[in-house]
Homo-oligomer: A and B are copies of this chain.
Amino acid sequence: MQLVNATLPDTVRIVEVGPRDGLQNEKSQIPTEQKIKFIQLLAEAGLPVVEATSFVSPRAIPQLSDAATVMTSLRRQPAVEYPVLVPNLKGMERALESGVRAVAVFTAASDSFTRHNINASIAESLANFRPILDLARKEAIPVRGYISTVFGCPYEGEVDPHRAVEVAGALFEMGVAEISLGDTIGVANPMQVAHVLNLMLQADIELDQIGVHFHDTRGTALANVLVALQMGVTTIDASAGGLGGCPYAPGAAGNLATEDLLYMLNGMGIKTGVDLDKVVEATRFIAPYLDHPPLSKYYQAAIAATGKDQ
């Protein structure tokens, strides 16, 4: 019955998505200088990957119109990757001009989600990635592929888990190095996570190429992480402070908080190389620029215990 001890990894790689996925979904406009400082604090905390920004059209997402400034001004740690999201070839070219050395592309497991978000079907989004992947290969730049709505869609409801497997297969065939499976609206449960990961294994997709990206909207994020770890996943996305909320349920929690993830992994003796206190400090730094307190439960408990303000 030693389920937990029998199957857990020794080490987990946390992909910090707070500065991009998190801040992109915050209402407040954060000054560029503070974004840069936030990214630097997260890298100094030992996070191996800090997704920094997105080279989308400044008109589409004004919060990220300073992407080039962020990437050229950032004081980088040699061991840290700072990937950025690129929606199209133009974004990819701008990213390269700004010295970016890792990128991510974004699609979904449900057509109505990609239509709402990037005005394209899944197939069209994949076709748009081809020139990005070609250029990335030429420049020896690793590409991460995000698949949203793997566990449920705000427009379609339930999503056939085979859709995620098909999209993952297409992305790997195109040359992405890693895929992140997203529970965009925070509906996943541990059984469903095990089911999707089993389907990936059956399609000969290795779980060391898979990251999981859970939202804590209904409190299940860490239970889902636990099952993913038990299945052999070792890359987990998280957002400092739980930044980003849930765009589909305003006021509710969204991204799994890096602090909550670290607290659990630390307690279980799983190494990450990340200093939890320093992540709390990074969140404390950015908190005054938000229009609400950070939703990380660990963060809230830590702040309550110290008696400091959030």
A interface with B by C-beta (< 8 Å):
1-5, 7-8, 186-192, 194, 198, 201, 216-223, 225-227, 230-232, 246, 248-253, 257, 260, 263-264, 267-269, 296-298, 300-301, 303-305
Contact indicator B300/A252 (Cβ below 8 Å): yes
How close is A293's CB to chain B, nearest CB, in angstroms? 9
Instruction: Knowing A223-B222, A263-B220 are in contact, say whether A232-B1 is a contact too (CB < 8 A).
Output: yes
Contact indicator B264/A3 (Cβ below 8 Å): no
The 18 listed contacts between A and B (C-beta, < 8 Å) are A1-B232, A3-B3, A4-B190, A4-B227, A4-B230, A188-B267, A189-B268, A216-B297, A217-B301, A219-B221, A219-B222, A219-B296, A220-B267, A222-B223, A223-B226, A251-B303, A252-B304, A253-B301
Q: Copy number of this protein in the oligomer?
A: 2
- Given contact pairs A190-B264, A301-B246, A220 touches B219 in the complex (Cβ within 8 A): no
Classify the interface of chain A: helix, strand, loop or mixed.
Answer: helix
Q: A220-B222, A226-B226 are in contact. Are A231 and B297 (CB under 8 A)?
A: no
Contacts of A300 in B (CB 8 A): 249, 251-253
Question: Using Cβ atoms and an 8 Å threshold, which residues of chain B touch A249?
Answer: 300-301, 304-305
Q: Chain B residues near A225 (CB, 8 Å)?
A: 223
Nearest to A250 among chain B residues (CB) is: B304
Chain B residues, CB < 8 A from A187: 267
Q: Among the interface residues A186, A192, A232, A300, which one has the most CB atoms of the partner chain B within 10 A?
A: A300
Per the bound structure, the CA–CA distance linking A226 and B225 in Å amounts to 11
C-alpha spacing A17/B46, complex, angstroms: 40
Chain B residues within 8 Å of A297, by CB: 216-219, 252-253
Contact B3 A227 (CB under 8 A): yes
